[in-house]
């Protein structure tokens, strides 16, 4: 039995908007990072599904997915390094400590 | 495949060579040899500008159309390299202090890798290359924003920048994935033939423009700008406000006119709203700001709105006026940031507010004169370069039929004059018992400030600059 493409697309959309929702409601820097990761993963699913179901003659979508995973890993590494730095300076990664600017 | 073909992308290859040279020098040089590090980097950047300019005649296409370099792209690359050279010159004093002295090489390497990313982003004719270039341009920039390791403000600005940039690229990628789903290709040239303005493609276009709007900091997506600009080290703020913004605007122009050409009506309407909102809202917020770097952040949001006037016209004259505007914006804005950097260093690294400028003319007449010229240029007062760049941008939007938009922008120019003049008034008229004492610039920042001064005065008067850019388009 072949799973229809719509199932995957709905999964990707739900995942993406869970990420958006988390990005706006979570109050912890690591959770914000996880939310953006969810959004990037939803995009990767989208690319893979479109390639496999709609345009199977080339592999462009799969390549995009692979590069997307690699770049998302690099982004996470940089973000975690900065979060560690924030923790060293403020002794907390809660977002309520991120309001020192503008004063 | 013939590997000599790689040399067709000469600007990128030579910038990578500069990168490797600096990396090796940073590894092997010790002790007093490091003194020549700064001057060596500056000279290498000069050579890089020459290489970019030498590519100005001719077109190169590589990798089956993924990479395309024509004369205006090469000129734009030379301009951005010139801006980075000014930033490197201004960074000398800051890199001398104890915390960042041993990180000099790191600063140069991160700066150059963002520049490579911008080069690829501007030459990309394929969404994968564009995406990689854009990430290469924004990830090291996050490290640069958080460069002052022991200052909480810097880390806070860094985390705000990286999280919003990740969010923006996820939104943009979501748009690109739908474009891929509906057209089946990622090449700009093949994609444009299959774009028909269906609902899914309009959705994709909106997501894409929103993601790029984050990078340019247009109004609904500008919320990270003020905080990141204020917290970042001043040289990095200067880099962020002109160089990375210039590259993103140029790329946006190319993608909107090349890929989304069949949907011109739709994206023009969207840009219309974003332009009006950016110019007006940023102007109103800028009046309230007392902190100079925050003030410059809102000023740069409204300047981004003005640049959008050139993008919205989408014509060849729009391209010319946009490149010219970015050139003038680079010299004027870097002059202001260079002065802020100098003043901060002589004021024990306290964040500058407008009250610090009171009575500056008494003690530092030359610096306040340059600051005045640069602010006049940003506001668009006639004899200086800023007037002509604004004039050409309004002309191109007017010719495309957006005369209401031009009218709104003109009214906002008057509002912006008010807040730029507030600083001038503080420097010349407001009395102050203890103004910032007389400052002696170091030779590096002096060279960069003189270059900015020449640019602000001459770019407007020498009309051949505009016509020669026009020939390149």
Local confidence pLDDT in tens for the 473 residues of chain B: 677 777 778 888 899 999 999 999 888 887 777 788 888 888 999 999 988 888 877 788 888 888 888 888 989 999 999 999 999 998 888 887 766 667 888 889 999 999 999 999 999 999 999 999 999 999 999 999 998 888 888 888 999 999 999 999 999 999 999 999 898 888 988 888 888 888 888 999 999 999 999 889 888 888 889 889 988 888 999 999 999 899 999 999 999 998 888 888 888 999 999 999 999 999 988 888 888 888 899 999 999 999 999 899 888 888 999 999 999 999 999 999 998 888 888 777 677 787 777 888 888 888 888 889 999 988 888 888 888 889 899 989 888 888 899 999 999 999 998 888 888 888 888 777 777 777 788 888 889 899 988 988 888 788 788 887 778 77
Any idea of the CA torsion for B160, B162, B165, B167, to the nearest 10 degrees?
-80
DSSP-assigned letters across all residues of B164-179: HHHHHHHHHHHHHHHH
CB B180 within 8 A of CB A61: yes
What angle separates helix B292-313 from helix B385-399, to the nearest 10 degrees?
A: 40
For B289-346, what is the HEC assignment? Answer: CCEHHHHHHHHHHHHHHHHHHHHHHCCHHHHHHHHHHHHHHHHHHHHHHHHHHHHHHC
Cβ contact (<8 Å) for A19 and B143?
no
Q: What residue in A sits closest to B154 (Cα-Cα)?
A: A86
Rounded distance, CA B342 to CA B357, Å?
12
Taken as a whole, chain A contains a residue count of 103
Chain A contact present for B225, CB below 8 A: no
Rounded distance, CA B200 to CA B255, Å?
18
* Among the listed residues B370, B343, B342, the one whose alpha carbon sits nearest the alpha carbon of residue B354: B343
Cβ contact (<8 Å) for A64 and B186?
yes
**Looking at chain B from residue 158 to 177, which residues have their Cβ under 8 Å from any Cβ of chain A?**
158-160, 162-163, 166-167, 169-171, 173-174, 176-177
DSSP-assigned letters across all residues of B269-280: HHHHHHHHHHHH
Q: What is the pLDDT of residue A70?
A: 93
Measured over all CA atoms, what is the biggest interatomic distance in chain B, rounded to whole angstroms?
Answer: 72
CB B165 within 8 A of CB B172: no
Cβ contact (<8 Å) for B181 and A100?
no
- pTM score above 0.90: yes
CA angle, B466 then B469 then B473, to 5°: 135
Of A40, A50, A85, nearest to B181 by CB-CB distance is A50
Cβ contact (<8 Å) for A89 and B150?
yes
Cβ contact (<8 Å) for A89 and B155?
yes
CA-only gyration radius of chain A, Å:
17
Cβ contact (<8 Å) for B151 and A89?
yes
Of B135, B156, B167, nearest to A101 by CB-CB distance is B156
CB B177 within 8 A of CB A16: no
For chain A, give the mean pLDDT. 89
CB A61 within 8 A of CB A43: no
CA distances from B389 to B22, B310, B415, B452, B468 (A): 36, 11, 18, 16, 14
The larger pLDDT score, comparing residue A38 to residue B383, is at A38
Of B157, B163, B173, nearest to A43 by CB-CB distance is B173
**Which positions in chain B touch A39 (Cβ < 8 Å)?**
167, 170-171, 174
Of A19, A42, A98, nearest to B156 by CB-CB distance is A98
The pLDDT of A48-75, averaged and rounded, is 90
ipTM given for this complex:
0.94
Q: What is the pLDDT of residue B53?
A: 86
Mutate: best of A26, A68, A74, partner B, most B CBs <10 A: A68
Residue A103 has pLDDT above 80, yes or no: no
Residue A1 has pLDDT above 80, yes or no: no
Q: What is the pLDDT of residue B429?
A: 84
Q: What residue in B sits closest to A21 (Cα-Cα)?
A: B167
* Among the listed residues B96, B30, B37, B139, the one whose alpha carbon sits nearest the alpha carbon of residue A77: B139
**Residue A31 pLDDT class (50, 70, 90 cuts):** very high
CB B74 within 8 A of CB B52: yes
Q: What is the pLDDT of residue B100?
A: 60
Q: What is the pLDDT of residue A66?
A: 93
CA distances from B89 to B94, B161, B177, B250, B297 (A): 10, 24, 41, 25, 22
Task: Give the helix/strand (H/E) hosting B62.
Answer: strand B60-62
Rounded distance, CA B258 to CA B262, Å?
9
Q: What is the end-to-end Cα distance of chain B in Å, rounded?
A: 31
Of B131, B139, B174, nearest to A75 by CB-CB distance is B139
Give the number of C-alpha atoms closer than 13 A to the C-alpha of residue B307, restricted to the C-beta side.
30
**Which positions in chain A touch B163 (Cβ < 8 Å)?**
23, 29, 32-33, 36, 79
Q: Count CB-CB contacts under 10 A for residue A25.
A: 10
Give the dihedral sign, CA A83/B134/A61/B12. Answer: negative
Rounded distance, CA B410 to CA B393, Å?
11
Helix (H, G, I), strand (E, B) or coil at B282: helix
Q: What residue in B sits closest to A81 (Cα-Cα)?
A: B143
**Which positions in chain B touch A79 (Cβ < 8 Å)?**
142, 159, 162-163, 166
Q: What is the pLDDT of residue B101?
A: 67
Cβ contact (<8 Å) for B177 and A40?
no
Rounded distance, CA B462 to CA B116, Å?
31
Q: Beta partners for B291?
A: B353
**Looking at chain A from residue 2 to 31, which residues have their Cβ under 8 Å from any Cβ of chain B?**
16, 19, 23, 29
**In terms of C-beta density within 10 A (0-12 exposed, 13-18 middle, 19 or more buried), how is residue A63 classed?**
middle
Distance from CA of B295 to the nearest CA of A (A): 11
Q: What is the pLDDT of residue B4?
A: 76
Q: What is the pLDDT of residue A83?
A: 92
Of A42, A47, A101, nearest to B153 by CB-CB distance is A101
Q: Beta partners for B69?
A: B60
Q: What is the pLDDT of residue A41?
A: 93
Distance from CA of B289 to the nearest CA of A (A): 9
Q: What is the pLDDT of residue B471?
A: 80
**Which positions in chain B touch A74 (Cβ < 8 Å)?**
135, 139
Distance from CA of B143 to the nearest CA of A (A): 7
Q: What is the pLDDT of residue B1?
A: 64
Which domains, and CATH codes, for chain A? 5-97 (1.10.287.3510)
Cβ contact (<8 Å) for B159 and A79?
yes
What angle separates helix B403-428 from helix B385-399, to the nearest 10 degrees?
A: 170
Cβ contact (<8 Å) for A101 and B230?
yes
Chain pair A-B, CB pairs under 8 angstroms: 124
């Amino acid at each position: 039995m072949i799973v229809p493409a719509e199932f995957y697309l709905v999964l990707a959309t739900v995942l993406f908007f869970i990420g958006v929702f988390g990005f706006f409601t979570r109050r912890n820097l690591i959770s914000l990072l996880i939310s953006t990761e969810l959004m990037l993963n939803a995009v990767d699913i989208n690319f893979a599904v479109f390639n496999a179901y709609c345009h199977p003659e080339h592999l462009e979508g799969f390549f995009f997915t692979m590069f997307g995973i690699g770049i998302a890993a690099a982004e996470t590494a940089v973000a975690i390094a900065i979060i560690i730095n924030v923790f060293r300076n403020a002794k907390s990664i809660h977002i309520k400590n991120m309001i020192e600017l503008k004063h | 495949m013939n590997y000599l073909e790689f040399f067709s992308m000469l600007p990128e290859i030579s910038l990578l060579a500069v990168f490797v040279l600096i990396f090796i020098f940073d590894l092997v040089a010790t002790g007093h040899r490091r003194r020549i590090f700064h001057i060596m980097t500056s000279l290498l950047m000069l050579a890089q500008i020459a290489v970019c300019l030498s590519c100005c005649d001719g077109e190169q296409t590589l990798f089956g159309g993924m990479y395309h370099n024509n004369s205006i792209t090469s000129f734009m690359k030379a301009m951005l390299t010139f801006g980075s050279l000014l930033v490197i010159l201004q960074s000398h004093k800051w890199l001398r202090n104890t915390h960042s002295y041993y990180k000099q090489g790191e600063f140069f390497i991160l700066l150059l890798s963002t520049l490579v990313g911008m080069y690829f982003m501007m030459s990309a004719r394929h969404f994968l290359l564009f995406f990689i270039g854009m990430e290469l341009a924004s990830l090291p920039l996050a490290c640069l924003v958080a460069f002052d390791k022991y200052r909480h403000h810097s880390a806070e600005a860094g985390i705000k920048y990286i999280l919003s940039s990740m969010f923006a690229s996820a939104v943009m990628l979501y748009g690109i994935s739908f474009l891929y789903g509906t057209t089946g290709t990622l090449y700009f040239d093949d994609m444009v033939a299959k774009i028909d303005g269906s609902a899914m493609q309009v959705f994709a276009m909106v997501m894409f423009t929103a993601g790029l709007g984050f990078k340019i900091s247009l109004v609904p997506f500008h919320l990270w700008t003020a905080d990141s600009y204020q917290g970042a080290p001043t040289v990095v703020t200067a880099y962020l406000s002109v160089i990375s913004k210039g590259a993103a605007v140029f790329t946006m122009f190319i993608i909107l006119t090349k890929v989304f050409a069949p949907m011109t009506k739709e994206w023009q309407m969207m840009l219309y709203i974003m332009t009006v909102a950016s110019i007006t809202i940023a102007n109103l917020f800028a009046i309230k700001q007392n902190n100079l770097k925050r003030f410059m952040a809102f000023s740069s949001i409204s300047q981004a709105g003005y640049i959008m006037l050139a993008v919205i016209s989408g014509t060849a004259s729009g391209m010319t006026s946009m490149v010219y505007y970015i050139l003038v914006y680079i010299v004027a804005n870097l002059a202001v940031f260079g002065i802020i950097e100098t003043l901060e260093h002589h004021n024990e690294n306290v964040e500058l507010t407008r009250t610090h400028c009171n009575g500056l003319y008494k003690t530092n007449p030359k610096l306040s004169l340059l600051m005045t010229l640069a602010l006049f240029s940003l506001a668009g007062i006639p004899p200086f370069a800023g007037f002509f760049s604004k004039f050409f941008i309004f002309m191109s939007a007017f010719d495309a039929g957006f005369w209401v938009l031009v009218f709104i922008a003109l009214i906002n120019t008057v509002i912006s004059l008010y807040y730029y003049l507030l600083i001038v008034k503080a420097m010349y008229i407001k009395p102050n018992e203890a103004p910032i004492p007389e400052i002696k610039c170091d030779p590096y920042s002096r060279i960069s400030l003189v270059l900015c001064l020449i640019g602000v005065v001459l770019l407007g008067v020498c009309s051949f600059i505009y016509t020669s850019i026009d020939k390149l388009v």
